[in-house]
Every structure is written in C-alpha cells, then in structure tokens.
Amino acid sequence: GTALMERCADRAERVGAGQFAPERFRQAQGHLKRAEEALAIPAYREARREAELARERAIEARASAEVIYRAQAAVREAANLKNLPADTEVLLQHAQQAAQRGNEARAHALANQVTEQANAAVNQSYLKQAWTLINEIQPVKEQLSPAQLSLFRSAEQAFWQDDGRKALELLQKLDTELAPRTP
C-alpha cells in the first residue's frame, strides 16, 4: 500500500529523482497524495490504483535518476584518480541540465556517454598502476610459489584483456603477500 509507495519514493529521492527526473517524481507524489485522499474517504479500490501508479512512477523516476547518479559516481572515481578527461564534467553538467528540464532521452544519452568516458579513464589509471606492479614483480617471478605465480599470470591475463581493475586487484593482493619478503 502507501507504506511501500513511500519507501519507493524515499529510494527515488535518495538518488536524486526529484532533481533528475522531476516530472516522473511529481507524478509519483501526485498519485500518492490521491491514494491517501482515497483512503480517507474510504475508497479502497481507487486508493490501491493510485498507490500502484505512484509506485510505478517512483520506480521510473528512480531508474531515470540512477543513470545520472552512476555518471556522477564514475566522474568522482576518475577525478579521485586524477584522470578525468576535461570535457567529461561538462558533459555531466549537460546531462544534469537535460534531466532537470525533463528531457530524459538526452539526459540518458549524455549520462551514458559520461559514464563510458569516466570508466575508460578509471580503467586506464588502473592499467597504468597494474603495469607498474607487473614490472616490479617480474624480476622476482622465479621466486614465487606456484599459487603466487598463478595469481601473477591471472593478473597479467587481466591486464592484456584490458581489465585494469581486476589486474590491479590481483597484483595488489600478490604484492601484499610479497611485501614482507622483498627488500
């Protein structure tokens, strides 16, 4: 009922649906208000219908806002790694503005482009860090245990498959194991 709808609305609001999917969010709030009014009469069938519509609009608003939210998160990660392409933040601003104006299709297209650019920049940072670790570990490769050598080979494979995050995670794990043993 309305408690479920209110939880949906709360989740939508947490990802910025009021800001980045304003029309759908307003529709959800309107349906919720009408559901509450119908309950007060009581007109249960009408209340249920309005609550269901409110829930649907809140879910749509949340999904729409999450596209922007993911783009923002990707930009933050690339910026934290000091590898954010110059135009990416501008594209994010355009995506946010399009979303605020209710132009969801443009907002989604721009936000997806932002996410793709930022994620590529993040991956490049991880690949660069992974390459550094590969080169540090390479000279002591013969001293690795079979399990460590397997980990190293998996990291190299991830690196050559352009999976920077996985390569770096594996190499950092290996580097942690080797740290006490290396000068």
Contacts of 155 (CB under 8 A, 6+ apart): 130, 133, 134, 166, 167, 170, 171, 174
> What's the 3-state SS for 68-123?
HHHHHHHHHHHHHCCCCCHHHHHHHHHHHHHHHCCCHHHHHHHHHHHHHHHHHHHH
- Whether 32 and 51 have beta carbons less than 8 Å apart is answered as yes
Q: Which two tokens stand for residue 19?
A: 């800001």
At 69-117, the pLDDT tens digits run 999 999 999 999 999 998 999 999 999 999 888 888 999 999 999 999 9
In the predicted structure, residue 1 carries a pLDDT above the cut 80? no
Contact 79, 122 (CB under 8 A): no
Specify the pLDDT at position 6.
65
pLDDT of the residue at 174: 94
Please, how many CA atoms are within 13 Å of residue 16, restricted to the half-sphere of its CB? 16
The per-residue pLDDT for 182 is 45
What is the pTM assigned to this prediction? 0.77
